[in-house]
């Protein structure tokens, strides 16, 4: 049978633009809150689909496969020009043109094109004829273009021409960063466009019927990636920037490399009394009355200056900052000066400092984090516990608002409580505060009001409840694990026993006894399983705090081991596992026979469960001067070293047992540890993957406590 598809180096090379455009798609969707990012995401996705589908077409050996791939290609081919135009409209500040109606109209021709390509075999409006050109090193799709192909091409080139024209218009406006963005977009758009024109319009086909357009996407993707990461295409949109600079309340002044004023916003005009006549003038002349601001503009430091406003009866305070503007080669192009009015904050701070000594000691001695903020959320004061908890310095916190450390405050509408707090009410709720390193901590917040010289403020007491939340989480998980494991372990034997009972009841009276005897082994095995489970559930509650009741009597440990192997033999026979006992003679030990028997049942049943069919479980009992040492060794798959540290915890199970669906509750080793340690002994485990597991139990030979029934540890 002739193969349907065969990849070749040319087709595989298209994976380069496909991977880059696919990565940019994911990145753009992650930034979808930024204007234009969704359009870029769909544009990159369309290029990715086009590249992948054309790679498949170049790999197809039969005409049907090539035509199917071409139909998929046009999902990208038909939409890319329209997406370029929409992106350009958004980028150049023409958002009003991108209405839902206009968008739908723009995609009418592409939609018709996609449908006609997919159904071309019935009407031949797009391709008059198609065939396979096998003259080259690999087959290519040879086409004769139909009427609608030229309609589609004319429409696509018109879209790209309009986008190019808009970008060229933007290129003439100021802004080095924006100019570089525009150049990058022009290169990314025109590279595949020129390749397409040369191929489609002028018929330049040096490689036969191989379309060079998708290969030009390498240039597009690389340039777009460079523009996004180097020139912050998602962060700086020129028309939006022009609007933002004039809309902010802070004064902003731009100086060139020679400290001449080259731009300012409306706030700077009001505060600094700068006019258009000052454009091009040195800052030293314009700011004669602002010596501190002039000094600040000549350094990279930020600071605070104060000055009298135009009204002589009031003083306004401003926080001024200066920073350099550099190009991509880190060459300084100029400087930006900003002034922020901090009069209200400074006055509030002065008022607070008047009474600071009265409450500072109380705040610093508080065990919890304490903060105060005004009705706008601006933080007025904090104690050192708050700084330590959040990782900020006190100065940093005093320049922040409560929303910056508690982003859920606005979402939860907590500011709506302001009126009630002023009326004397208190509120306690849980929230999450964000530390300086970006991590979030769960907290319990109590809010009340406090009276200050300038009015009332919110007093908050914050308690870190990380440990409490972690405990609640662990408790909930342990409860869920416990219920799941117990229900599973109870359900299986009960189901089997119920099924057998129904089977026996269905038999005639004369056959019931015979049927019961036939199922006797299964009954015994499941009853033993239930007994072991119930004993473990009871023993798991006997923690060191509650006490473990032991009835110690002189006990032959070797006999207990032999009896335990007989008890568990019902499971061993099913697994074809045999016992290998090596028991030294021992004097009687002061033990609780039932507790040690349950321990042995747990250890031996685990060894059987984890042994391979036909395996051997070795049991060794050795005498030491002051102790008896029991070892239970299996030759199963073993346990990874990373899991061994938690196996003696309740509900802990090895990952291999879960994957292999080996039954168990994760209580066996935990219960065994409780019972062994209640005797003053110790239990340990060593294991090696692929070799097996050995559990070692050490029991003291001389009991220090009185050996009587009912003694408690």
Question: Helices H, strands E: what count in the chain?
Answer: 29, 21
- One domain for residues 148 and 278: no
Does residue 310 lie in a domain region? Answer: yes
Given a contact cutoff of 8 angstroms between Cβ atoms, the answer to whether 253 and 336 are in contact is yes
Does residue 215 lie in a domain region? Answer: yes
Write out the two tokens for 507.
Answer: 């038999």
Given a contact cutoff of 8 angstroms between Cβ atoms, the answer to whether 92 and 167 are in contact is yes
Mean pLDDT along residues 33-46? 79
Does residue 571 lie in a domain region? Answer: yes
Which of these, 616, 524, 603, lies nearest to 575 by C-alpha position? 616
Given a contact cutoff of 8 angstroms between Cβ atoms, the answer to whether 638 and 653 are in contact is no
Picking from 267-281, 321-335, 392-406, 517-531, which range would have the lowest pLDDT averaged per residue?
A: 517-531
- One domain for residues 183 and 328: no
- One domain for residues 220 and 144: yes
Quickly state the pLDDT bin for 708 (edges 50, 70, 90): very low
Domain of residue 171, residue span: 9-238
Given a contact cutoff of 8 angstroms between Cβ atoms, the answer to whether 512 and 558 are in contact is no
- One domain for residues 39 and 162: yes
Does residue 4 lie in a domain region? Answer: no
Quickly state the pLDDT bin for 490 (edges 50, 70, 90): low
Write out the two tokens for 356.
Answer: 């600071």
- One domain for residues 276 and 388: no
Picking from 24-28, 154-158, 204-208, 436-440, which range would have the lowest pLDDT averaged per residue?
A: 204-208
Domain closes at, from 411, 439, 464: 464
Judge residue 492's burial from the number of C-beta atoms within 10 Å of its C-beta, 0-12 exposed, 13-18 middle, 19 or more buried. Answer: middle
- One domain for residues 145 and 289: no
The count of other CB atoms within 10 Å of the CB of residue 650 is: 19
- One domain for residues 172 and 270: no
In sequence order, which residues have a C-beta less than 8 Å from that of residue 438 and are 6 or more positions away?
none
CATH number at residue 459: 3.30.450.20
Does residue 313 lie in a domain region? Answer: yes
- One domain for residues 431 and 456: yes
Does residue 210 lie in a domain region? Answer: yes
Give the C-alpha separation, 521 to 500, whole Å: 12
Looking up tokens 């372990």 gives: 489
Q: What are phi and psi of 587, to 5 degrees?
A: -70, 165
CATH number at residue 696: 3.30.565.10
Judge residue 44's burial from the number of C-beta atoms within 10 Å of its C-beta, 0-12 exposed, 13-18 middle, 19 or more buried. Answer: buried
Give the C-alpha separation, 240 to 258, whole Å: 28
| Total domains, the chain | 4
Give the C-alpha separation, 326 to 233, whole Å: 17
In sequence order, which residues have a C-beta less than 8 Å from that of residue 209 and are 6 or more positions away?
133, 140, 141, 142, 143
Distance of CA 426 to the CA centre of its chain: 36
Rg of the chain (C-alpha set): 40
pLDDT confidence of residue 249:
76
CATH number at residue 44: 1.20.1070
Give the C-alpha separation, 630 to 117, whole Å: 79
Write out the two tokens for 467.
Answer: 């440990």
pTM of the model: 0.40
- Mean predicted lDDT score pLDDT of the chain: 76
* Helical (H) or strand (E) element with 610: none
* Helical (H) or strand (E) element with 459: strand 455-464
Cite the beta strand spans of 69-195 per DSSP E. 127-133, 140-145
The string of pLDDT tens digits covering residues 534-582 is 665 565 555 544 456 777 889 999 998 998 888 777 778 878 889 999 9
Domain closes at, from 440, 464, 488: 464
Domain closes at, from 296, 318, 341: 341
Does residue 539 lie in a domain region? Answer: no
- One domain for residues 175 and 311: no
Which of these, 78, 84, 1, lies nearest to 36 by C-alpha position? 84
Task: Reduce the DSSP state of residue 253 to 3 states and report it.
Answer: strand
Which of these, 479, 423, 421, lies nearest to 445 by C-alpha position? 421
Mean pLDDT along residues 71-85? 89
Mean pLDDT along residues 177-190? 73
In sequence order, which residues have a C-beta less than 8 Å from that of residue 562 and are 6 or more positions away?
581, 583
- One domain for residues 379 and 294: no
- One domain for residues 264 and 217: no
- One domain for residues 226 and 256: no
Specify which of 287-301, 522-536, 551-565 reaches the highest per-range mean pLDDT: 551-565
Looking up tokens 């060079």 gives: 212
Does residue 26 lie in a domain region? Answer: yes
């Amino acid at each position: 049978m002739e193969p349907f598809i065969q990849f070749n180096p040319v087709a595989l090379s298209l994976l380069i633009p496909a991977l880059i455009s696919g990565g940019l798609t994911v990145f753009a969707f992650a930034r979808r809150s930024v204007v234009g990012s969704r359009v870029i995401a769909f544009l990159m996705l369309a290029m990715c689909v086009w590249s992948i589908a054309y790679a498949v077409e170049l790999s197809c050996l039969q005409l049907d496969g090539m035509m199917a791939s071409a139909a998929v290609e046009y999902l990208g081919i038909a939409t890319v020009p329209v997406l370029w135009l929409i992106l350009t409209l958004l980028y150049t500040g023409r958002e009003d043109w991108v209405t839902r109606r206009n968008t739908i109209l723009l995609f009418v021709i592409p939609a018709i094109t996609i449908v006609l390509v997919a159904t071309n075999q019935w009407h031949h409006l797009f391709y008059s004829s198609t065939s396979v050109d096998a003259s080259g090193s690999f087959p290519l799709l040879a086409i004769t273009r139909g009427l609608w192909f030229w309609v589609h091409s004319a429409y696509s080139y018109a879209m790209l021409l309009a986008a190019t024209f808009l970008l060229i218009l933007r290129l003439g406006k100021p802004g080095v960063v924006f100019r570089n963005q525009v150049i990058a977009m022009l290169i990314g758009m025109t590279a595949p466009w020129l390749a397409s024109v040369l191929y489609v319009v002028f018929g330049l086909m040096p490689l036969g019927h191989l379309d060079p357009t998708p290969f030009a996407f390498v240039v597009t993707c690389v340039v777009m990636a460079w523009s996004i990461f180097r020139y912050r295409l998602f962060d700086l949109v020129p028309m939006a920037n022009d609007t933002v600079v004039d809309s902010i309340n802070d004064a902003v002044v731009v100086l060139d490399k020679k400290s001449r004023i080259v731009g300012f916003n409306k706030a700077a005009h009001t505060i600094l009394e700068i006019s258009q006549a000052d454009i091009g003038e040195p800052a030293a002349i314009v700011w004669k009355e602002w010596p501190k601001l002039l000094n600040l503009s000549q350094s990279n430091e930020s600071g605070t200056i104060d000055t009298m406003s135009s009204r002589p009866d009031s003083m306004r305070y401003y926080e001024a900052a200066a920073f350099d503007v550099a190009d991509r080669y880190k060459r300084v192009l100029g400087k930006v000066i900003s002034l922020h009015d901090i009069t209200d904050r400074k006055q509030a701070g002065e008022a607070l400092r008047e009474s600071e000594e009265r409450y500072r000691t109380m705040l610093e001695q508080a065990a919890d984090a304490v903060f105060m903020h005004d009705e706008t959320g601006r933080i007025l004061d904090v104690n050192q516990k708050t700084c330590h908890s959040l990782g900020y310095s006190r100065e940093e916190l005093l320049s922040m608002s409560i929303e910056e450390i508690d982003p859920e405050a606005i979402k939860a509408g907590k500011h709506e409580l302001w009126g009630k707090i002023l009326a004397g009410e208190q509120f306690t709720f849980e929230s999450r505060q964000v530390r300086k390193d970006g991590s979030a901590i769960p907290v319990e917040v109590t809010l009340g009001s406090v009276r200050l010289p300038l009015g009332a403020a919110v007093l908050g007491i914050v308690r870190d409840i990380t440990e409490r939340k972690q405990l609640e989480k662990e408790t909930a998980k342990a409860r869920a694990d416990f219920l799941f494991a117990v229900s599973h372990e109870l359900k299986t034997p009960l189901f089997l026993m119920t099924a057998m009972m129904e089977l026996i009841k269905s038999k005639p009276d004369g056959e019931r006894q015979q049927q019961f005897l036939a199922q006797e082994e299964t009954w015994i095995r499941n009853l033993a399983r239930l007994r072991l489970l119930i004993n473990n559930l009871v023993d798991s509650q006997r923690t060191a705090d509650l006490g473990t009741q032991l009835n110690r009597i002189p006990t032959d440990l070797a006999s207990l081991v032999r009896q335990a192997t007989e008890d568990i033999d019902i499971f061993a026979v099913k697994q074809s596992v045999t016992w290998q006992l090596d028991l030294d003679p021992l004097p009687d030990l002061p033990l609780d026979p039932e507790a040690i028997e349950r321990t042995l049942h747990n250890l031996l049943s685990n060894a059987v469960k984890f042994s391979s069919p036909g395996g051997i479980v070795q049991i060794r009992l050795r005498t030491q001067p002051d102790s008896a040492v029991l070892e239970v060794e299996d030759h199963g798959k073993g346990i990874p070293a990373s899991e061994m540290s938690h196996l003696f915890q309740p509900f802990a199970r090895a990952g291999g047992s879960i994957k292999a669906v080996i039954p168990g509750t994760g209580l066996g080793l935990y219960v065994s540890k409780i019972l062994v340690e209640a005797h003053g002994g110790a239990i340990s485990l060593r294991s090696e993957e692929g070799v097996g597991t050995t559990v070692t139990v050490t029991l003291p030979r001389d009991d220090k406590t009185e050996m009587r029934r009912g003694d408690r540890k």
